[in-house]
Amino acid sequence: MSISDTYNEYFPRFALLAGILIGTATAIALLPVEYIADIANIIERSYLISQGASPLRWPDPPLRYLPISALMAVLVPAGLEPGTVVTAYMIAIEFVLIPVTLYRGVRAWYGAYAAGWAALLYGSLAFVLFPDVVPDASLVLINTMYSGVYWMYAFAIPPILFAWEQAGRGNYRLAGVGLGLVALIELPMAAIAAIVVAVTGLLDGEVRDVLEAAAVSIVVSLPLVPFAVYHLDYWISSGAGRTDVSRYPLFDGGSQSFAGFEVTVLEARIAGVVLFAMALATVASAYYRSDAVKRFVQELPAAVKSQLVVLVVLELVLGVMLLALWYHILISYIFRFTLFALGGVIASRAVSAWRSADGRDRAAGGLAPEKGD
């Protein structure tokens, strides 16, 4: 069997498996991690629930802890430490379940080869392209596995990708199921994911289906009702202030040192808007000057266009103009998966173009193209 035939038949599944193995091996090699902040909360609260404590003791959605509690109820008596159980659960989520749901979504939008490349790139490059948040004001996208506090955000990604995949397929009831599950893990991320689903439906002209997805998501998230009072008190005391710059060490004392210059909040916002405008102008220029870029953008499925539009707009408003670090972390972490999807498409098309050119060269040299070209 030729290399071309092997690529045609086996590459998507091989790439998915390779992405899972590379990401998992890298995560294990970088252990141990420090159990601090939200990670410590996840370990402690999951363990207490496994010992009979009520999840209503805390203002967090129940699916953040209950799956881990179920594992602890079995594995801790068998000799594993609670922290080990949570670490294994995290690795399984971020480097097994996320690649699988990313693969499924990209396969639905672009096909199996792009999906295989997306999963392979994720497993190979997640740690390289998306390091930890250092310092707190880091402009890079985060890597939840080793950022030290954000593991629960990874828990929400598989149902988000599932919801977007189903919306792209036109299955809005299942998209609603995914959104409801996200709400049972991380409410703000559920809101972001829901906006993407809504915009996808509106771009497709499926207003009724969007309403159906909303109704299903509400039904699925009904277990949140007993937590309502706790969430309300929590957001009154802390959630509403998460757009306040002074709440974080981002601009301690009203200014922040960047490259040796003291920058005020206003100056940072102006600079951010200018940089954002320059980036958009660059993209717009490429769109209007290059037929290839224009075709690429026009061929994007509604599910991907909605991701780009919603996440970019939210980042502009919350991350750039308001300098709300917490929302920036949420948005940028979700956005990385859209980037990997696009990276998979670009890689797949580059390989297809190379194989087509190779086939033409063979034909010009008196050789027939390989089967599958």
Q: Which residue has the tokens 């909360």?
A: 41
Render pLDDT for 120-173 as a digit per residue (tens, 0 to 9). 999 998 877 665 433 344 444 566 766 667 889 999 999 999 999 999 999 999
Query: What sign for the dihedral angle of Cα 177, 178, 184, 190?
Result: negative
pLDDT for residue 346 is more than 60: yes
Q: Where are the alpha helices (DSSP H) in 98-247?
A: 98-109, 112-129, 144-147, 151-169, 172-183, 187-203, 207-220, 228-237
Q: Can you give the pLDDT at residue 363?
A: 52
Q: At what angle do helices 172-183 and 207-220 cross, to 10 degrees?
A: 40
- pLDDT class for 342, splitting at 50, 70, 90? very high
Render pLDDT for 168-224 as a digit per residue (tens, 0 to 9). 999 999 999 999 999 999 989 999 999 999 999 998 888 899 999 999 999 999 988
Give, for 315, the enclosing helix (H) or strand (E): none
Q: Can you give the pLDDT at residue 252?
A: 59
Render pLDDT for 14-35 as a digit per residue (tens, 0 to 9). 999 999 999 999 889 888 888 8
One-letter amino acid of 56: L
Residue partners of 248: CB distance under 8 A and separation at least 6: 136, 137, 325, 326
Residue partners of 346: CB distance under 8 A and separation at least 6: none
Render pLDDT for 347-369 as a digit per residue (tens, 0 to 9). 998 888 887 766 655 555 554 43
Q: Can you give the pLDDT at residue 51?
A: 94
- pLDDT class for 321, splitting at 50, 70, 90? confident
Whether the pTM exceeds 0.75: the reply is yes
